[in-house]
Amino acid sequence: MLLRVSHFSVNYADATIRWGLYESALRYVGWPIVPGFDVSGVVEWGGADSGFNKGDKVFGFTLFGGYSTFCLIPGRQLMKMPEQMTMADAAAAPSVAATALHACSLAGYWPQAPDAKNKAALVHSAAGGVGTMLLQMCKLAGFSPIVAVVGSSHKVDACKELGADFVIDKSKEVLWPAAEAACPSGYAAIFDANGVETLAEGFDHLAMTGRLVSYGFHSNLPISTGALNPLQWIRMGIGMFQMPKFDPMRMVLESKGVLGFNLSFFADEQGLLEAYTKQLSKWLTSGEVRVSKVTEFGMDEVAEAHALIQSGRSVGKIVLKTPAAM
């Protein structure tokens, strides 16, 4: 599919490419190094079997390459835009929604929830792009209670509106005692994009049959909008050595699991991508899942958009509008 891009979203990985961290990993697996995981726009050309026609308004995930005015995308990674969605909202949804859905799947709660005694979920970075999707999907999947974790008070209300039963504000309370108070019996699932800062304690706070799902390492990376200095590189190296190691025998004896993934490398997982686009299209069209908040920049404001997502102050999603936008 050839797509004329209207908007593309900014994800944390897009902003970290400039440091060379993702660049090194992507070169290792032979991927092109062009940021941009999801887009919205208008079909310029589609194959005979694509299911799309020229002029269709669509959105979906690119798995890199979205920072452009035109983009080639496999049809299985695109969805027709619901009438009630704006181009900005549509661009904001795909990659974070697919990440959240895969995380719920790894936790064992999609497509069908298990008949486990404990159904509590804890979501780190709950006011971010993936976090806001996870709160909604956890509600749909039957998690209860749902505990959201945020780093500042202005994010609390947004999490409550999306279905969180409790919100832990780390600027005012200590994380793990608050998590224990919210759910003394532990958690069926903990969704973690932080990395070294919270993984070990997260595993300790799982209930029997619980799963710790990791999909990012924000706390391993410095908050910086420019080139890293030598001290920051040293701190990142120390953080890597401090990453927790999980004992397989303890996992067996306590019936706990640790799972991780990176959606960036799922291009060959055609069955998964098709299943996820089908489910997400249904939820987004019905309004059962929605984009909570979108901050829009112009395409010439990429630096400002990256600075905002790296600052940790953003709520919801950040998108950029191209000159080709309608």
Residues 2-93+264-321: name the CATH superfamily.
Answer: Medium-chain alcohol dehydrogenases, catalytic domain (3.90.180.10)
In the chain, % of residues over pLDDT 70: 87
DSSP-based three-state secondary structure for 209: strand
- Rounded average pLDDT over 212-223: 74
Tokens of 315: 């709520």
pLDDT in tens, 10-65: 987 776 655 444 455 555 445 556 788 899 999 999 887 888 999 999 999 898 88
Its pTM surpasses 0.85: yes
pLDDT in tens, 241-264: 678 999 999 999 999 999 999 988
| Whole-number Å distance between alpha carbons of 244 and 260 | 14
CB 24 within 8 A of CB 236: no
Give me the residue label for tokens 């420019």. Answer: 226
| Whole-number Å distance between alpha carbons of 89 and 293 | 8
CB 149 within 8 A of CB 170: yes
User: Which CATH fold topology does 96-214+216-260 show?
Assistant: Rossmann fold (3.40.50)
Tokens of 224: 């910086």
All structural domains of the chain with their residue ranges: 2-93+264-321, 96-214+216-260
| Whole-number Å distance between alpha carbons of 217 and 213 | 12
pLDDT in tens, 78-125: 999 998 899 999 999 999 999 999 999 999 999 999 889 999 999 999
- Signed CA dihedral, 55, 59, 62, 67: sign only: positive
Identify the CA nearest to 78 among candidates 42, 26, 34, 111. Answer: 42
**How would residue 307 be classed by pLDDT, with cut points 50, 70 and 90?**
confident
For the chain, what is the mean pLDDT? 88
| Whole-number Å distance between alpha carbons of 226 and 247 | 38
277-281 contact pairs (CB < 8 A, 24+) = 277/60, 277/76, 277/77, 277/78, 277/79, 277/98, 279/101, 279/110, 279/111, 280/79, 280/93, 280/94, 280/97, 280/98, 280/101, 281/79, 281/80
**How would residue 238 be classed by pLDDT, with cut points 50, 70 and 90?**
low
